């Protein structure tokens, strides 16, 4: 990210991501921040946005027993994971991070693990525009403010208090400016401000949002910056909101892909993951799903109704319609994978193709080799998996069963309908099927 001069002068912040909430409204056994958007936990999106600011620390606050949250946080790049012993509110959650924030200077940027669309640009914008404020709030004006805290400002437009919806009067609920959940607080004031919180409110929680009113009462400067797009700060508290975040993220990823030179005939029906990567001039037909870990090379065409995950697809390939590429698929380039072909943990060297109705698992397919319709690599004996190795320029006839472990040499030919249990030497033809017998039928009398 390119930082403006002003941002640089404010210094890198320390970052705290709040992620200890139960997420009761999700009605799920899984911690809220692990629910996925574009194939990745919400927490991972948020931590990545944080990391782009090159902060002093990235502290994630998790709940007791949330080992999976801690692991996801570390994997995404968090420097520290702290535990909030009891879920007593967002203010109490930030308190749990105080010990690891000792020694941090400048400002502490706090936001929620349940707002996966937040970008480093917007976080940087808040820091840049509110330099010098002891407490700064990123405001937003969502179309539907229901559920968000309302940001009350004075005549000069400076924040006075944040009122949570449950505690708000009719008049306060009419305020359009909401708390996005992103705040920047000067590290030196943090212990005092948090120490002054109480839980006398509708939820009986220690609200982090109360630090605004407390700071004002102590004569500290409070600032606000309003996010250009409220959608970016959508907080996910329910499955419906998770779906809304997904839709917004998909729109963002599709726009980014098209910007990079991908053609989509019906963008709204193409589902991408946060890490899907495309070369130029890739074409994607309608109804295609990209799970995590997919790279698609230049000029490759992905035809309708294909399901692809964990696959590296080279340049100039044709995939689908109705293809299924599972993790470990590597296509070197110039490959053709047609309808109803499933591929898993298999390398297709340049020019290899399987045009119809096949399962290729745990295999290597040599350059220019043709896999006939209905070919199956029988890779599993009920207990273990075995590899099938097929050389270059091989022709596998239709409906062949290749019982692994087995090796087919370069230039070999496997006759249609064969069940291959032994290696085939290079250049040989293998036929493994019963010889056909034609029997003369008794002619009808007359």
One symbol per residue from 72 to 101: x for binding ligand UD1 (CB under 6 A), - otherwise; what is it? ------------x--xxxx-xx--------
Please tell me whether residue 224 binds ligand UD1 under the rule CB under 6 A: no
For ligand UD1, what does the binding mask look like between residues 234 and 253, x meaning CB under 6 A?
Answer: -x-x----------------
Q: State the Cα–Cα distance between residues 138 and 127, nearest whole angstrom.
A: 9
Residue for token pair 């009891």: 86
The nearest distance, CB 205 to ligand UD1, in angstroms, is 7
- Minimal distance in Å, beta carbon 197 to ligand UD1? 10
CA 150-223-141 angle, 5° bins: 35
Minimum distance, C-beta of residue 283 to ligand UD1, in the bound complex (Å):
38
Q: Contact 227/122 with Cβ under 8 angstroms? A: yes
Per CB under 6 A, contacts with ligand UD1 among 164-193 are: 164, 178-181
What tokens appear for 128 in the block? 């840049």
| CA–CA distance, 195 with 198 (Å, rounded to integer) | 8
Q: Which of 7, 40, 92, 114 binds Mg ion (CB under 5 A)?
A: 114
Q: Is 162 in the site for ligand UD1 (CB under 6 A)?
A: yes
Q: Which is nearer to ligand UD1, 115 or 352 (CB)?
A: 115
Q: Is 267 in the site for ligand UD1 (CB under 6 A)?
A: no
Lookup result for tokens 């629910």: 35
220 binds, among Mg ion, ligand UD1, none (CB under 5 to 8 A by kind): none
User: From residue 56 to residue 75, what is the string marking binding to ligand UD1 with x (rule CB under 6 A)?
Assistant: -----x--------------
Site membership for ligand UD1, residue 133 (CB under 6 A): no
Look at residues 124, 107, 112, 116 and name the one whose alpha carbon lies nearest to residue 225: 124
Stretch that binds ligand UD1, among 108-116, 284-292, 339-347, 365-373 (CB under 6 A): 108-116
Q: Restricting to residues 281-320, name those near ligand UD1 by CB under 6 A.
A: none
Tokens of 198: 């109480």
Q: Which is nearer to ligand UD1, 233 or 317 (CB)?
A: 233
Q: Which does 18 bind (CB under 5 to 8 A by kind): ligand UD1, Mg ion, none?
A: ligand UD1
Binding partner selected for residue 89 from Mg ion, ligand UD1, none, CB under the kind-specific 5 to 8 Å limit: ligand UD1
The only residue of 13, 113, 235, 397 in contact with Mg ion, by rule CB under 5 A: 235
SS3 330: strand
Q: Give the separation between CA 72 and CA 53, rounded to whole angstroms.
A: 19
> How far apart are the C-alpha atoms of 279 and 283, rounded to whole Å?
10
In angstroms, what is the minimal distance from the CB of 134 to ligand UD1?
18
Is 418 in a helix, a strand, or coil?
A: coil
Residue 25 or 299 with smaller CB distance to ligand UD1? 25
- How big is the chain by its Cα radius of gyration, in Å? 29
Q: What angle, 0 to 180 degrees and rounded to 10, lies between the N-to-C axes of helices 120-129 and 42-51?
A: 50
Q: Is 21 in the site for ligand UD1 (CB under 6 A)?
A: yes
- Residue 18 near ligand UD1 by CB under 6 A: yes
Q: In terms of CB distance, is 39 or 235 closer to Mg ion?
A: 235
With contact defined as beta carbons under 8 Å apart, do 430 and 413 qualify? Answer: yes
Q: Which three-class secondary structure state does DSSP give residue 162? A: strand
Q: Closest distance between ligand UD1 and the C-beta of residue 88, in Å?
A: 5
Is 356 an annotated catalytic residue?
yes
Q: Which of residues 236-265 bind Mg ion (CB under 5 A)?
A: 237
Distances (CA, A) of 348 to 167, 280, 333, 360, 429: 61, 22, 8, 10, 22
How many helices (H) and strands (E) would you count in the chain? 9, 36
39 binds ligand UD1 (CB under 6 A): no
Burial 168-184 (b: 16+ CB within 10 A, else e): beeeeeebebbbbbbbb
Expressed in angstroms, the distance from the first to the final Cα of the chain is 91
What sign does the dihedral 211-213-217-221 (CA atoms) show? positive
The backbone torsions φ and ψ at residue 28, rounded to the nearest 5 degrees and listed phi first, read -145, 155
Report, in Å, the least distance between residue 32 CB and Mg ion: 8
Binding interface with Mg ion (CB under 5 A): 114, 235, 237
- Using CB under 6 A, list all residues that contact ligand UD1: 18-21, 32, 61, 84, 87-90, 92-93, 112-115, 148-149, 162, 164, 178-181, 207-209, 235, 237
Give the residue numbers annotated as catalytic, written as ranges. 356
């Amino acid at each position: 990210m390119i930082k403006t001069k002003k941002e640089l002068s404010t210094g890198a912040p320390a970052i705290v991501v709040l992620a200890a909430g139960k997420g009761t409204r999700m009605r799920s056994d899984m911690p809220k921040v692990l629910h996925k958007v574009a194939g990745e936990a919400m927490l991972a999106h948020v931590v990545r946005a944080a990391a782009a600011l090159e902060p002093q620390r990235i502290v994630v606050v998790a709940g007791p027993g949330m080992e999976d949250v801690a692991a996801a946080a570390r994997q995404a790049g968090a420097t520290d994971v702290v535990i909030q012993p009891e879920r007593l509110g967002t203010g109490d959650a930030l308190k749990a991070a105080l010990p690891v924030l000792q020694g941090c200077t400048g400002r502490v940027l706090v936001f929620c693990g349940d707002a996966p669309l937040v970008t480093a640009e917007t976080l940087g914008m808040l820091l840049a525009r509110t330099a010098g404020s002891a407490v700064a709030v990123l405001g937003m004006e969502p179309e539907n403010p229901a559920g968000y805290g309302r940001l009350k400002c004075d005549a000069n437009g400076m924040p006075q208090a944040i009122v949570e919806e449950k505690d708000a009067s009719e008049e306060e609920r009419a305020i359009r400016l909401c708390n996005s959940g992103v705040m920047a607080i000067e590290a030196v004031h943090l212990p005092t401000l948090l120490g002054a919180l109480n839980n006398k409110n509708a939820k009986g929680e220690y609200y982090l949002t109360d630090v605004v009113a407390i700071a004002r009462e102590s004569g500290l400067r409070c600032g606000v910056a309003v996010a250009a797009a409220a959608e970016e700060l959508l907080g996910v508290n329910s499955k419906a909101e998770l779906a809304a975040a997904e839709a917004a993220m998909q729109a963002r990823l599709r726009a980014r892909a098209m910007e990079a030179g991908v053609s989509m005939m019906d963008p709204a029906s193409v589902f991408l993951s946060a890490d899907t990567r495309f070369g130029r001039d890739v074409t994607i037909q309608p109804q295609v799903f990209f799970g995590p870990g997919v790279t698609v090379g230049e000029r490759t065409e992905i035809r309708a109704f294909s399901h692809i995950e964990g696959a590296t697809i080279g340049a100039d390939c044709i995939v689908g319609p109705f293809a299924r590429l599972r993790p470990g698929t590597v296509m070197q380039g110039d490959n053709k994978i047609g309808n109803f072909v499933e591929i898993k943990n298999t390398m297709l060297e340049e020019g290899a193709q399987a045009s119809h109705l096949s399962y290729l698992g745990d295999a290597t397919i040599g350059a220019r080799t043709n896999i006939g319709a209905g070919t199956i690599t029988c890779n599993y004996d009920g207990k273990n998996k075995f590899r099938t190795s097929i050389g270059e320029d091989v022709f596998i006839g239709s409906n062949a069963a290749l019982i692994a472990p087995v090796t087919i040499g370069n230039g070999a030919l496997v006759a249609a309908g064969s069940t291959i249990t032994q290696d085939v030497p290079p250049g040989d033809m293998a036929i493994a099927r019963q010889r056909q017998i034609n029997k003369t039928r008794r002619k009808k009398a007359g």
